[in-house]
Amino acid sequence: MDVREVLYTTRAMRRVRPDPIPLDVQARILDAAIRAPSGGNAQPWRFVLVDSPDLKGELGPLYRESIASLWSTFYRERLDRARADPEVPSNRSLLKVQRSAQWLADHFEEVPLYLFCFVRTAAGGAGSIYPAAWSAQLAARAEGVGSALTSVLGALHPAEVRSLLGVPDDSWDNSCTVSFGYPTGRWAVADRLAVDKVAARNAWDGELGFSASEPLWPKE
Amino acid sequence: MDVREVLYTTRAMRRVRPDPIPLDVQARILDAAIRAPSGGNAQPWRFVLVDSPDLKGELGPLYRESIASLWSTFYRERLDRARADPEVPSNRSLLKVQRSAQWLADHFEEVPLYLFCFVRTAAGGAGSIYPAAWSAQLAARAEGVGSALTSVLGALHPAEVRSLLGVPDDSWDNSCTVSFGYPTGRWAVADRLAVDKVAARNAWDGELGFSASEPLWPKE
């Protein structure tokens, strides 16, 4: 599949069917993920696939609790505002994400596959794990597999995740977790603020130098 | 270009020619980047392209100082060990990265383009900016443009970066910066630890369930 189609149409796909992901597809997803760069090429990562019903049954309640906590704390004010004025595009978008994430919480155990992404805490981080996680999502898209990234499990329940997955010690951080499955919805170009709303040149509000108010793919 | 070729061959390319990146190529890179997901689809990001010689002339010394500081602190022990035994593959890899990053430091002003990636601090982070930065690098690869990500400028010189780029306040974090240019070297599959060395299933050391000791592309 062409890389531009993949970059434009890989968006969070949380609603998926319970059908398993074949092992050869999983292998291609992981093999693409580990080509990503990391700080000093140290590859300070470890990836744990989870498809065991027992394990999903233990993790599901933790995810539901994490999500409920997000809604009632971090997102509370924004959700209240969004519900009060749901026709504003950014509000509609937030409510859509909220419903989608709640779907994942309610159906956590039915999602066929999760990828828990760990990075060595001392290796200093995000730049050494998120590119690999995002590559996994892009490689999955090319296989027709939907995915979504969450960081709440590792952030809100680090000790439980460590214990359930047998992580040897706290030198490893569960930076993020990706859910995978064949989507129930359709692929489409992700709806985003245009480049000229979020980019500039040589200064915070500097002229970009090109016009960028519409997606360049697939219309171009 | 096929997505697998892009995912397998996009690696840090710091040594680049001074030739400018055409504006239509820059537009396609940014337009792909902003399709990336972010927490709650909040898109809490701003991207500042830098190609002004004056600005690069101000940023270059900061990058050189940051890199020198990395070598003498964070990487010092590892570099000493690597120099003592440079034939060990992981040592050779670290020394290669060190030379490459030092090249970028020594030639900072000659690199044609930088992309400074900012995320709203309160929006909570890495998962809302690194996928976009990595998408920019992948989209650049498809255009024949090399790139490399660094986070040292924003980490070690946040106030100077804010001042030089006119960032309005400290609610924005320069999570990472990507350098871009037409590479002097060749594209190749990135050398990485195989999947079966860094991945498992249903437990930290659980059987993967498929064989994964060799790259699946392009040999497959």
CATH class, domain A3-188, is alpha beta
How far apart CA B153 and CA B146 sit, in angstroms, is 20
Mutate to test the interface with A, among B21, B34, B69, B104 (most CBs of A within 10 A): B34
Q: What is the pLDDT of residue A67?
A: 96
Give the domain ranges of chain B: 3-188, 191-220
Residue A220 has pLDDT above 60, yes or no: no
Q: What is the pLDDT of residue B210?
A: 97
Angle at the Cα of B123 (from A158 to B63), degrees rounded to 5?
95
Helix (H, G, I), strand (E, B) or coil at A179: strand
Helix, strand, coil proportions of chain B in percent (round to 5)? Answer: 50, 15, 35
Q: What is the pLDDT of residue B103?
A: 98
How far apart CA A95 and CA A173 sit, in angstroms, is 30
Mean pLDDT, all residues of chain A: 96
pTM: 0.97
Distance from CA of B138 to the nearest CA of A (A): 8
Mean pLDDT, all residues of chain B: 96
How far apart CA B54 and CA B146 sit, in angstroms, is 23
Mean pLDDT of A40-56: 96
How far apart CA A130 and CA A153 sit, in angstroms, is 15
**Any idea of the CA torsion for A179, A65, A176, A97, to the nearest 10 degrees?**
60
Percent of chain A with pLDDT strictly greater than 90: 94
Q: What is the pLDDT of residue A80?
A: 97
Query: How, if at all, do strands B172-181 and B113-120 pair?
Result: antiparallel
Of A27, A131, A204, the CB nearest to B216: A27
Of B7, B11, B46, the CB nearest to A138: B7
Query: Cis link prior to B218 (omega < 30° from 0)?
Result: yes
Tell me the two tokens of residue B114: 């930088």
Helices (H), chain A: 3-9, 23-33, 53-72, 76-84, 89-106, 130-142, 152-156, 158-165, 195-198
Q: Is B138 within 8 Å of chain A by CB?
A: yes
* Paired residues of A200 in beta bridges: B48
Give chain B's residues under pLDDT 50: none
User: What is chain A's Cα-based Rg?
Assistant: 18
Interface pTM, i.e. ipTM: 0.97
Task: Look at residues A118, A219, A101 and name the one whose alpha carbon lies nearest to residue A169.
Answer: A118
Q: What is the pLDDT of residue B135?
A: 98
Q: What is the pLDDT of residue B123?
A: 77
Instruction: Render pLDDT for A123-153 as a digit per residue (tens, 0 to 9).
Output: 768 999 999 999 999 999 999 999 999 999 9
Instruction: Render pLDDT for A159-185 as a digit per residue (tens, 0 to 9).
Output: 999 999 999 999 999 999 999 999 999
